Structure 1
Amino acid sequence: MSTIVFFHAHPDDEASATAGTMIRATRQGHRVVVVYATNGEHGQAPDPLPEGVSVAEHRRGEAEASARVTGTARVAWLGYGDSGMAGWEQNAHERSFHSTDVDEAARRLAEVLDEERADVLVSYDWHGGYGHPDHVKVHHVANRALELAAHRPPLLESTMNRDHMRGLMAAAREAGASEDEAWDVDVPMQDGNPIGTPEAELHHRVDVRDVIDLKRAALACHASQTSDVGMMLAMPEEHFLAGFGFEHYTEPGREPGMVEGWPF
């Protein structure tokens, strides 16, 4: 069996992006490890936040709960500060992930890869899916970690299928959805690029519809994040299945063409 290391920017990113793949992997007997770059302290605070507990500590607890749902064997933290959204003053804070030295963070990730003798590393596409500074940094740190690691596994990059999302939004508009509910996926995001990746540039589509209830349960572990996780969980079950029933990956160096199947 394989050891698959998933490298994510914040607690809850694993649940929305790769939880279905993680669940399928653990069901097949693979060892799943998740590494979080940041503590997610600029996420939403639960109401009420328990006395003496920080947002970061609370979100770590939520991540551990999600790991129990997905069957994740190890949760590791690089411990950098959440950089906030693009343009926030927190981007430049001394210990923010965005401003940290790439080699420093990469060495720490490489240590996990070597400790685990990882068979696969999963990170993000070149613009972090939607341009978030921490997501973009995950991409760069992951690639550098592979150069520094003594044991260098192949790389897959989690992303979103822009064409599939465009079709979902078109169907929603035809069904009478508002502009807020059915937004234009081709408008520039935080870094000036549209969300996700065109289908022609994808390599793997993983069908996770048979574990969609568990993926939804992993998301529910991050209930404090009401603005994004709350929005996802509020979706009717059939809409959630359509939007989150497949997880997409690029594989650097692979010939063009998306394959539906199991890439591990």
Structure 2
Amino acid sequence: MSLTMVCFHAHPDDEALLTGGTVAMAVAAGHRVVLVMATNGEQGLAEPGVASAPDAPALGARRRTELQASAALLGCHRVVELGYPDSGMHAEHGGFSTVPVEDIARRLADILTAEAADVLTTYDARGGYGHPDHLQVHRAGVLAAHLAGTPTVAEATVDRSRLVRAARWLERLRIMPGTVSADRLARSYADPAEITDRVDVRRFARAKRAAMRAHVSQAGGGDNVRTLALLGRLPLPLFRLVCGTEWFIVSGSPAILRSGQQPLDG
């Protein structure tokens, strides 16, 4: 039976990092996937030679183009851009995180209703690593699913214990992305006991890596190694090992997350 999954994300590149493999898997299984993007990500860092915060509209336009390329590589059937301003990490720009939750939820609920969505993916209650726009995606997503009567909500997250172990290893090698730290990650994402579904996306690693690489503007910028650059440089066998699982906290039926999936080792 074909189902419809709507994936709600904060910034271009989040869709590839957190749900890219699951999206590609669902499409391969014959399901419809709609990607809804809250912002253009215009407050993100950018690689040298690409406009960044002082010229935010130009970066936003660049990231919208990258989003379309990523969505095509993953096989998304429709992309909806809500067009809210990017708040920035500290919400110093106002933006999406300051918009009334009910207003966002109603717009998203209209999409869920029009698509007769079976599943909505959003973020965990911590907003992953705590970005204000990620927290807003969680709040608005949960309310929108309630308003639209969407039966299943899958909160995209990461197994915190695995993330912290990897971060401490990267810190020892002095290649840890400068925007995060192992201590901060220990208070982020989800404890393993909270996670209901671990999705094996190793067969779709090539599509996920290609989608991540589509976000060229986010592979550089700032004085530290960027997560996308670090992961995008991994050879495919190592990428499968590092990025071959996606995690969710699911309320409702997780059937679409298991379509075409092979059991995880261990």
Contact 1:4 1:119 in 2 (8 A): yes
Deviation at 1:168, TM superposition (A): 3.7
Cα distance in structure 2, aligned partners of 1:158 and 1:113:
18
Q: Report matched runs for 1:51-130 at 5 Å.
A: 54-86=58-90, 88-90=91-93, 93=94, 96-130=95-129
Deviation at 1:148, TM superposition (A): 2.1
Structure 2's unaligned 5+ residue stretches are 52-56, 220-225, 261-266
- What SS class does the counterpart of residue 173 from structure 2 fall into? coil
Work out which of the residue numbers 196, 201, 205 in structure 2 matches 1:212.
Answer: 205
- Matched-pair identity in %: 39
Cα distance in structure 2, aligned partners of 1:60 and 1:25:
23
Contact 1:160 1:197 in 2 (8 A): yes
Name the counterpart of 2:41.
40
Q: After TM superposition, where is structure 1 displaced by more than 6 Å over at least 4 residues in a row? A: 182-185
Cα distance in structure 2, aligned partners of 1:133 and 1:263:
32
Cα distance in structure 1, aligned partners of 2:181 and 2:92:
27
Cα deviation, 1:45-102, whole Å, max 9, x if unaligned, reads 455459xx7211111111110111110000001111000003x521xx2xx1010000
Change over 3 Å in CA distance of 1:14–1:124 after alignment to 2? same
Letter in 2 for 1:246: T
Name the counterpart of 2:222.
none
- What SS class does the counterpart of residue 6 from structure 1 fall into? strand
Name the counterpart of 1:257.
none
Deviation at 1:182, TM superposition (A): 9.4
Contact 1:39 1:81 in 2 (8 A): yes
Contact 1:185 1:195 in 2 (8 A): no
TM-score (norm 1): 0.84
Deviation at 1:231, TM superposition (A): 2.3
Deviation at 1:186, TM superposition (A): 5.4
Q: Report matched runs for 1:1-264 at 5 Å.
A: 1-45=2-46, 47-49=48-50, 54-86=58-90, 88-90=91-93, 93=94, 96-149=95-148, 151-169=149-167, 172=169, 177-181=172-176, 187-188=183-184, 194-226=187-219, 227-252=226-251, 262=258
Cα distance in structure 1, aligned partners of 2:259 and 2:236:
27
Cα distance in structure 1, aligned partners of 2:240 and 2:99:
37
Letter in 1 for 2:163: M
Cα distance in structure 1, aligned partners of 2:205 and 2:136:
29
Deviation at 1:241, TM superposition (A): 2.2
Letter in 1 for 2:74: T
Cα distance in structure 2, aligned partners of 1:109 and 1:21:
21
Cα distance in structure 2, aligned partners of 1:98 and 1:160:
22
Deviation at 1:235, TM superposition (A): 3.3
Contact 1:186 1:195 in 2 (8 A): no
Cα deviation, 1:177-213, whole Å, max 9, x if unaligned, reads 4254499975235xxx622211111100000111111
Cα distance in structure 2, aligned partners of 1:218 and 1:202:
25
Letter in 1 for 2:173: S
Cα distance in structure 2, aligned partners of 1:167 and 1:230:
20
Structure 1's unaligned 5+ residue stretches are 255-260
Cα distance in structure 2, aligned partners of 1:45 and 1:69:
22
Give the total of aligned pairs: 247
Contact 1:185 1:194 in 2 (8 A): no
TM-score (norm 2): 0.83
